[in-house]
């Protein structure tokens, strides 16, 4: 069974790379079968990064960039337009990162969402979205949710099971729901 999964990853990786939608740096390790809807989007993974996450693009025109020497465990990256993960970032398992609200807050604008999904389409015109940026040297604990429009500063640490709805200052530790600063770190971490 392991050999079959390795072969599937090889074929899916080749297909994604050949499409021009994906670029990977030397030494990057990616679980390709976890990546969905890359056509019409951009995915770049830096050198020596390890990516085990489920990666899903919601519509054409999205971009996910992951820097060098970063690790993203068995988590979910859900991208409408932009998710950027820097260099030397460690992201544990069970994390959800999304750059959108999924649905409009106004019932009139979301009332047909289920019907539209059944038809293989989605109207994003009234759905709030904002880029997510996780800067270099950040560490994200397990089961964290990172919501649209958030920037996590360089060297920041996000404690397990936190919900990040606001920017996190560089070299700080945040925990909770909503995540709040509980400690400042030195610039070297």
Annotation says 103 is catalytic? yes
Distance of CA 126 to the CA centre of its chain: 22
Signed CA dihedral, 172, 188, 92, 134: sign only? positive
The structure tokens 């270099």 sit at 136
CA–CA gap between residue 50 and residue 46 (Å, rounded): 9
Catalytic residue among 100, 103, 109, 171: 103
Nearest of 180, 62, 75 to residue 131 by alpha carbon: 62
Residues forming the active site:
103
């Amino acid at each position: 069974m392991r050999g079959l999964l390795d072969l599937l990853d090889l074929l899916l990786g080749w297909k994604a790379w050949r499409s021009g939608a994906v670029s990977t740096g030397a030494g990057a390790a990616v679980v390709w079968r976890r990546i969905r809807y890359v056509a019409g989007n951009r995915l770049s993974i830096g050198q020596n990064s390890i990516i085990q996450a489920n990666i899903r693009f919601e519509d054409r025109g999205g971009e996910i960039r992951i820097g060098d020497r970063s690790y993203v465990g068995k988590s979910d990256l859900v991208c409408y337009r932009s998710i950027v993960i820097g260099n030397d970032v460690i992201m544990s398992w069970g994390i959800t990162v999304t750059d959108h609200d999924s649905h409009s807050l106004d019932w009139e604008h979301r009332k047909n969402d289920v019907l539209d999904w059944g038809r293989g389409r989605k109207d994003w015109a009234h759905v709030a979205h904002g880029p997510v940026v996780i800067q270099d040297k950040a560490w994200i604990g397990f089961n964290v949710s990172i919501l649209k429009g958030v920037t996590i500063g360089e060297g920041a640490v996000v404690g397990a099971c936190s919900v990040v709805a606001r920017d996190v200052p560089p070299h700080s530790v945040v925990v909770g729901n909503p995540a709040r600063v509980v400690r400042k770190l030195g610039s070297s971490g």
